[in-house]
């Protein structure tokens, strides 16, 4: 993705009119949920000239992680990505926030989920949100996670490689009738940027 690309993540499904409005407002891409987007919506977003990043759903605050749950979640992710026709090589953000459990269990959950995604040919990234259990060193040490997205919340530990995707404050802004969180792209300290689907090719 080009450095400085501006985007937004949102929970609501988007229409052709939404996509055109967001593109006209200056967005380069949107971030949509693997479990919420349909093939039809993916196509209309790409046809509107918007790039698309994908993120997994988070759970309700206080959920309990484990490596077993992570592997099951990863299998569901892969099934859904294949159903949508998302090609190998695409980045998928794993949403980590509001978790209850030991650092070892949290890391095991992320590691297992990321391992399943990577084994299927995808790239695993980590959205680091509120209520973080892992330290900066523990975040960076998770195998198979190669990109990090920082939520808008204060006090989030930064992995040694830094961030390549940022969510800005304040959250829950309205843009042409769609509630969004704004995001932007930069290279992390290792020169990595996010990946997105685009109409012509993966970027």
pLDDT in tens, 140-194: 999 999 999 999 999 999 999 999 999 999 999 999 999 999 999 999 999 999 9
Flag whether pLDDT at 202 surpasses 70: no
pLDDT tens column, 90-136: 999 999 998 888 999 999 999 999 999 999 999 999 999 988 899 99
3-state secondary structure at position 138:
helix
> Using an 8 Å Cβ cutoff, are 103 and 141 in contact?
no
Cross-strand pairs, 197? 52, 202
93: nearest Cα among 23, 22, 200, 183: 183
CA angle 31, 34, 39 (to 5 degrees): 95
The verdict on pTM exceeding 0.75 is yes
More confident residue, 60 or 77: 77
Domain ranges of the chain: 6-185
- Find tokens 């790039």 and name the residue: 51
Flag whether pLDDT at 201 surpasses 60: no
112: nearest Cα among 81, 76, 67: 67
Give the DSSP letter of residue 26.
T
* pLDDT confidence tier of residue 203, bands split at 50, 70 and 90: low
What pLDDT is stored for residue 132 in this prediction? Answer: 83
What pLDDT is stored for residue 43 in this prediction? Answer: 98
Flag whether pLDDT at 62 surpasses 90: no
Q: What CATH class is the domain 6-185? A: alpha beta
């Amino acid at each position: 993705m080009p450095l400085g690309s501006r985007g937004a993540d949102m929970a609501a499904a988007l229409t052709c009119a939404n996509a055109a409005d967001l593109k006209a407002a200056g967005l380069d891409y949107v971030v949509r949920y693997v479990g919420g987007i349909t093939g039809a919506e993916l196509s209309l977003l790409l046809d509107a000239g918007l790039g698309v990043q994908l993120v997994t759903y988070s759970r309700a605050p206080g959920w309990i992680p484990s490596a077993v749950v992570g592997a099951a979640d990863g299998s569901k992710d892969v099934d859904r990505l294949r159903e949508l026709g998302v090609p190998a090589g695409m980045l998928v953000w794993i949403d980590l926030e509001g978790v209850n459990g030991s650092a070892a269990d949290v890391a095991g959950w992320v590691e297992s989920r990321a391992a399943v995604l990577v084994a299927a040919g995808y790239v695993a990234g980590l959205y680091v949100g509120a209520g973080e259990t892992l330290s900066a060193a523990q975040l960076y040490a998770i195998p198979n996670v190669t990109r990090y997205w920082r939520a808008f919340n204060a006090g989030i530990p930064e992995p040694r490689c830094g961030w390549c995707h940022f969510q800005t404050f304040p959250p829950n802004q309205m843009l042409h009738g769609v509630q969004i969180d704004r995001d932007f792209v930069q290279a992390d300290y290792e020169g990595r940027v996010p990946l997105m689907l685009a109409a012509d090719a993966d970027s």
